Structure 1
Amino acid sequence: MPEKVKRSILSGIAGIVLVFLVLAMVFNVRGNLQKAKADTVTTTVTVTNSAPQWTVYPFEDPASATTTPTNVGTQVTFKAVATDANADDYFLAVCKTNAVTPHNGAPPTCDGGAWCISATTTSGTTSTCSYTVQESDTNETYEWYAFVCDAYEGGALCSSVSQGSGPSGSPFVVNHRPNFTVVSNDSPKDPGQTITWTTTASDPDTIRGGDTIKLFVCSTSGFNPTSGCTGETLATSTFVSSNPSASYSIPIPKPDMTYDGYVFIVDQFNLAATGTAQGSNSQWTVNNVPPYIVTSTITILNHDGSTDRLILTTEAGTTTGFKIRYQIVDNNSCWASGGGNEISSVIAYVYRSGIGQAGCDSASEANNNNCYPEITDFALQTCPGSTTAAIWATTTFTLWYHADPTVTSTKWETETWKASVKAIDDDSATSTLVEGESSIELDAFLALAIQESAINYGSVMPDVQSDQQTTTIKATGNTGLDQELGGNPMVCSSGGCGNSTISVDRQYWYLTSGTNWGTLPTSTYRDFLSASTTPVYSQLECPKSTSTTPASKPTYWRIQVVTAQPRGLYTGLNYFTAMMSTSSAW
């Protein structure tokens, strides 16, 4: 048998023997053991207090950082979350130094002073406390050190310090108020001009390289640093490093008076300034400016409202109701401070164009023929209010009967009538006297009056001329006069002459005193009277009236009755018709 096989058989036998030996020993031991008695062990442990632990490290909400500082007067708010292994409530303490002292069952104290300490907070929830930044906090940054301390009454503990991290971590950044000490403006100014407010103001903060500030000018004292003026905003500046200025363009119209201008400065973080000028009233004044007349609006109207010609209607007197219409503009508006009209008076001038404005711009130049100066009877349109600059007005004037005509065939046919107007405001500022662009004709007014009421030839004998009688023609219109003469037969009115008549042509008229009845040849200067239906022309050449007393000129008369004219009293009626004479005879 090979050696290797022998060794394997012997190893197997040895193993079996070993197993039997072990089993025998076990059974022998168990048979000799005694049964043991039961027992207990006492366990003890002491659970100690543990400090709260940061779950969310402290942070500012919102972050008080260089670009988002906390304005003085507002709060910086700190938040954190801590978990207490003992499930105790906890406090958040934000200290000025890295030192805190816990107190059993009470809030901790910061050894170097506290920014804020929260109320008790349930473990695992957010704790909050806030600090209101004071005007006395003059630094731009302030470090803070946060701790969470439990409220355990038997030995309170605090966590390790934390200053947070990033922009919301320590320090918090303070934004201070600008300082605003001086303000002024360059009023008074006219409507349409610009008023500028200038200031002395600066901002103390430098951490951002110098803060910028902005000026507001408000019509009232109401102001919100975030949104600006609560009333009308008159002017604002841009953001500048110091001494901002702002300008206001005075609208047209703007009443002449003094106005409020409350001034405020804020910085780039909408923090209102401090200083004596902040919120002060920098009043501004609008100058009074003279009104002016719109020349293109000056229009002369007849008494019936027409614009083609002026028509006189009253013989040897005045015709009323003529008007001048025009527009007045006042850049202080038509409304006067305190109510009423800005325009206090209007002075108008009406004249023949040949006289011109220069020849009729004072009372001393008054002439009823051609110049009516300083007419003051005016009426204004109702003023709508202080935002209205232009207002219509009307001046009413009269003309004397002898005012110079300008129509064709008159002495002044190449001329017209014109008007100039000036206005005066309630501060006595006077506009320039301006002449209207348009003009109007003055019509010829043919009118006469006979001074005598009758031609009394007296007693005459047939074939003998009567004594000379006179009729006096008065020019009661505005032209020189010739006349047309006509008559009716004289009829018997008493004395036994029955139905007898004296024919019209037995009357003889002439313009040269002393002329005999029937002198020939006849002409426009002498002739027999014609029937009223076919009057004869008489070249009287009565001058045009030039004063309130009418010009006049006589016509002479004689009568000679025929042979055998029955005796008696005869009466008749002669007619005088005004004719405009050649203008060279005026």
Structure 2
Amino acid sequence: MAKKIKKTIPWFLVLLLIGLAVGIGLNLGETWVQADEATTSVTVGNVLPSITVPADDSSTCDSPTDVGSDVTFTATATDANGDEWKILVCETAGTTGVACTGAQWCVSSSVSSGSPASCSHTVVAGDYNNGAWFVYACDSTGCTADDNTYSPFNVNREPDFSDISVPAADPGQNIVFTATASDPDHNGDGCTADEVELYICDAAGADATSGCTGGTELCHAVLTGSNPTCDYSVTIPTAHGPNNYYPYVFDTHGMPAGAGIQGVAAQYTVNDVAPIVTSVILDDGGPIALNLKGSTTDIAAVSTDVTDNNGCEDITEATAVIYLTSKGDSCAADDNNCYQIDTGNCVKTACDGASDAVCTYTCTAALKYYADPTDTSSTWSGDTWSAEITASDESGSGSKIGDTPVDLQTNTALDVTETIAYGTVAAGQDTGSDNETTTVVNYGNSPIDNELYGIDMTGPATITIDVGQQHYALIAFTYGTGDTALKLEASKDTVDIEATKPTSTTPDVSDNILWGIEIPGGKASGEYTGTNTFTALVDTDDW
């Protein structure tokens, strides 16, 4: 069987034949297309920006954002379409278009894809602990939310400061400032509850870091839960009356309390206190020695320690009393035992202005010569003299009786008629019932008797008349009858005159001694003179 052989046309011959056919066709007037186009179309979808984790300006428990300050939200987003984007922060979840469905906190300007964007929100008290905040990345068509929600940024609200209590106080005591103050920021959000502190300044201006900036700090209460209180010790001396102060309350983070009484001038009151008399010295410690009849004796009660804690200039006057102790300081004025000294006789010294609390008062009385004695010679020997000084200001007075009473000395003194003139008496004769009189006046402060003696009278050529030729008596007498012969000093007599203790300047307290003389025969004529001595003795029986 013969084999059939299958023959094929080479590919290049096929191409040649096709080309010839085309050429023939062209040549025959036919139209042939060498290339053509097809229109394409596609819609690129908008992809919303993709946001990274946002931040809220690092507001923390320890460093919160104060009400009234701005909190800044920051994020970065990329847009697959390369569109610009912006950050949108809403109080509640949800957007409509490119706006918050609820309240908008802030929105940024548009930035390029991949660039960070930020916006700021001014914090109000209502932002505190109000739930999550919501952040969105928006292009011109819509917004995409971050996959997370965020707790509130930490808001620091101003402390509440509604009142302050400041009772009055005396100098040397404490003025207690108690503020009605607290802080609304509690620990319910995981932060420690805020506390409050108090500054009291004497001039306007304070901050939590430096304290009082406009003046001097009076006191400071450190951070406490509520109602801070601090004490200011009122210096001595301090004038009585109102004094300005300025209160400031701050919270844990240094935020000041709001308007109201924060930093507003107010006043605390320093009480008007009475003076204090600490010591009284009478007559430099005594004893008191009086002048005799005819003059007074200035006796002083002195206090070198009269104190007024409002200042010694606040003392308006002082009075005093110098008195027989047994009569008491309320005694009625009596020149024998009670000297009430008025303000005109009390002098203030050693007061050195408003900064000085202590001064000296000297109160002087003119004691009469007959003031009651208290030494061992007197009937008041168990008594003494005392002094009290009372210093006063507008609020009241303070008194002090001296701690050490003193004695007042007994004075025994007299004054007598200077001459006993017998006239002319013949030798061998006496004066009979013709008496000469000497008046003995009590010049001291005790009843007195009279110690009496004389000397011989001397005449011409040193001739003497014996002292005993003079006779005396307390009543009128006829020489040689009911009388007593005068003696020399060695044998002197005590004459029981009636001269009681004076109790007033007038009339004089006095008694009379009557005199007579006999001239022995043989005495030469001429003038004879001598001296009779009268000495005062305390009459212990006549007090």
TM-score range for the pair, normalised by the shorter chain length: 0.7 to 0.9
Match of 1:15 in 2: none
**Is residue 486 of structure 2 the alignment partner of residue 538 of structure 1?**
no
1:163 and 1:459 map into 2 onto residues whose CA distance is: 152
Normalising by structure 2, report the TM-score.
0.72
Within a 5 Å distance, the mapping from 1:437-448 to structure 2 comes to 437-448=403-414
Match of 1:312 in 2: 290
**Percentage of pairs with the same residue:** 28
Pairing partner for 2:321 from 342, 349, 355: 349
Within a 5 Å distance, the mapping from 1:419-568 to structure 2 comes to 419-427=387-395, 429-431=396-398, 433-450=399-416, 452-466=417-431, 467-492=434-459, 498-503=460-465, 505-518=467-480, 526-530=484-488, 534=490, 536-541=492-497, 542-549=499-506, 550-568=508-526
Q: Is the 8 A contact 1:405 1:441 kept in 2?
A: yes
Q: Is the 8 A contact 2:197 2:220 kept in 1?
A: no
Deviations 1:59-92 (A, max 9, x none): 566x312343112344546789999xxxxxx999
* 1:318 Cα offset (Å): 0.4
Deviations 1:96-155 (A, max 9, x none): 58999xxxxxxxx9999775869999x99xx99795845576445684749899xxxxxx
1:120 and 1:583 map into 2 onto residues whose CA distance is: 125
Question: Aligned pair in 2 of structure 1 residues 508, 425: CA closer, same or farther (>3 Å)?
Answer: same
**Is residue 204 of structure 2 the alignment partner of residue 221 of structure 1?**
yes
Q: CA RMSD in A?
A: 4.5
Deviations 1:390-435 (A, max 9, x none): 54433222211111111122221111111122221134x123x443
Q: Is the 8 A contact 1:478 1:544 kept in 2?
A: yes
Match of 2:310 in 1: 333
Within a 5 Å distance, the mapping from 1:256-405 to structure 2 comes to 256-294=240-278, 297-301=279-283, 305=284, 307-325=285-303, 327-330=305-308, 332-335=309-312, 341-357=313-329, 361=330, 365-376=332-343, 377-384=345-352, 389-405=357-373
* 1:441 Cα offset (Å): 1.0
1:461 and 1:299 map into 2 onto residues whose CA distance is: 65
* 1:474 Cα offset (Å): 1.2
Match of 1:175 in 2: 156
Deviations 1:344-369 (A, max 9, x none): 11111111123233xxx25xx21111
* 1:201 Cα offset (Å): 4.6
Deviations 1:142-182 (A, max 9, x none): 84749899xxxxxx9xx9987999xxx8753221112334x
Q: Secondary structure at 1:354's aligned position in 2?
A: helix
Where structure 1 has 5 or more consecutive residues not aligned to the other structure, the ranges are 1-51, 84-89, 101-108, 150-155, 336-340, 493-497
Normalising by structure 1, report the TM-score.
0.67
Question: Aligned pair in 2 of structure 1 residues 160, 389: CA closer, same or farther (>3 Å)?
Answer: same
2:90 and 2:355 map into 1 onto residues whose CA distance is: 61
Q: Is the 8 A contact 2:457 2:467 kept in 1?
A: no
Q: Kindly tell me the number of residue pairs found equivalent between the two proteins.
A: 477
* 1:317 Cα offset (Å): 2.1
Where structure 2 has 5 or more consecutive residues not aligned to the other structure, the ranges are 1-48, 79-83
Match of 2:59 in 1: 64
Deviations 1:217-237 (A, max 9, x none): 333222213343342234637
Q: Secondary structure at 2:326's aligned position in 1?
A: coil
1:454 and 1:208 map into 2 onto residues whose CA distance is: 116
